[in-house]
Amino acid sequence: MTLEIVGITVLGIFLFGYIIVASIDFGAGFFNAFSTVTGNEHVLTKVIQRYLSPVWEVTNVFLVFFFVGMVGFFPKTAFYFGTTLLVPVSIAIILLAIRGAYYVFTTYGGLKHKRYTILYGLTGLLIPASLSTVLTISEGGFVKMKPGGPVLDYWRLFTSPLSWSIVVLSLTTVLYISAVFLTWYASHANDASATALLRKYALAWAGPAIITAAGIIVEMKAHNPEHYERLVDLWWMFALSVVLFVGSVYLIWKKQSYGLAFSLLIGQFALAFFAYGTAHYPYLLYPYLTLYDSFTNQAMAIALVVAFIAGLVLLLPSLYLLLRLFLFNKEYVQGGQNDHA
């Protein structure tokens, strides 16, 4: 295994971790806002706030690791993606700042106004939509090389069926992942009413999530035939992903083993995520940039691999302690401690 593959694999692990943790976070915010609008605030808010209070500060650690590592391992990505992603990433950063401000003011300042809760919930949909443009642009056809450097063709981006398919996929998967996890969390807290409502949300978003995922592959055939052919070659990984999806939905439908259902969901998305990444190899940006013509020097690569593996070794036990001490501590989840601990 070459250093290039090791580097992109490490980055892929951090990115996948961010997708899961951030999806739960974004979806929780949306469901919290939705419950406020629909009058179900008394059902969901306590459970969701108990989840968000200890977690919000660590959610973006994965994202920071990923972006720093991407530029460190593949310096040319700063040139190709830096200017083209200026607008969508700037929007995402502003929205993340809004979420951070909401967390601080609600946790420590007692801010409870409904419109701020709704704004916070909407950011949970807008952030994944804006960040998903990175995935769209990497498929090629949206960046034009000009004398001054790469330029993003916004008209083509906003009129591309693939672009909107990826945006819709990002929204449906965020809500599905979050609903399944929160169903498990509410069940662990012995909150029957919240569990029942979140279970309905999980089942409601399961269908759209799998349909939009299949739609991406269909759109890929027209937009990037080379990537589509590679995806088809890895059909068995996607087939296993669907099997895990069916198992997860079955358990939720039967009101059984919500923890196992979430574990199957993790496996489902891991298979699909790494199958997509494998099919994308060796390109970072079709057709201009590959892993090999943008990789850093060997000494820097080895130092980064060691640093990132060490970071992962520290981060995973920290998350485990967070789960044990707060999220799945029986006294905490059932409200025995202060909700904003």
User: Model confidence at 181, in pLDDT bands (50, 70, 90)?
Assistant: very high
Q: Are 183 and 199 in contact (CB under 8 A)?
A: yes
User: Model confidence at 209, in pLDDT bands (50, 70, 90)?
Assistant: very high
Q: Which residues pair with 149 in a beta bridge?
A: 146
33 pLDDT more than 90: no
Instruction: List the single range of 23-32, 237-246, 269-278 with lowest mean pLDDT.
Output: 23-32
Query: Which residue, among 309, 256, 271, has the nearest Cα to 6 in the 3D structure?
Result: 309
Which 8-state DSSP code applies to residue 143? E
Q: Are 192 and 177 in contact (CB under 8 A)?
A: no
Mean pLDDT on 219-234: 90
Percent with pLDDT over 90 in the chain: 29
Omega before 208 within 30 of 0, i.e. cis: no
At which residue do the structure tokens 């949306």 appear?
30
Rounded CA-CA distance 88/312 in Å is 28
- In tens, the pLDDT along 288-341 reads 888 888 788 888 888 988 888 888 888 888 777 777 776 666 666 655 544 443
The tokens for 137 are: 């642009």
pLDDT at 1: 64
At which residue do the structure tokens 């950063």 appear?
93
pLDDT at 34: 86
Rounded CA-CA distance 49/341 in Å is 10
Query: Which residue, among 27, 4, 88, 78, has the nearest Cα to 283 in the 3D structure?
Result: 4
Say which residues have a Cβ less than 8 Å from residue 264's Cβ, sequence separation at least 6.
244, 245, 247, 248, 251
The tokens for 156 are: 């083509």
pLDDT at 211: 93
Instruction: Give the end-to-end CA distance of the chain in Å, rounded to a whole number.
Output: 45
Query: Which residue, among 121, 125, 103, has the nearest Cα to 41 in the 3D structure?
Result: 121
Mean pLDDT on 82-110: 76
Rounded CA-CA distance 258/186 in Å is 10
Q: Nearest 5°: CA angle at 47, between 44 and 52? A: 115
- In tens, the pLDDT along 141-155 reads 888 888 877 888 888
Query: Which residue, among 27, 213, 66, 228, has the nearest Cα to 140 in the 3D structure?
Result: 228
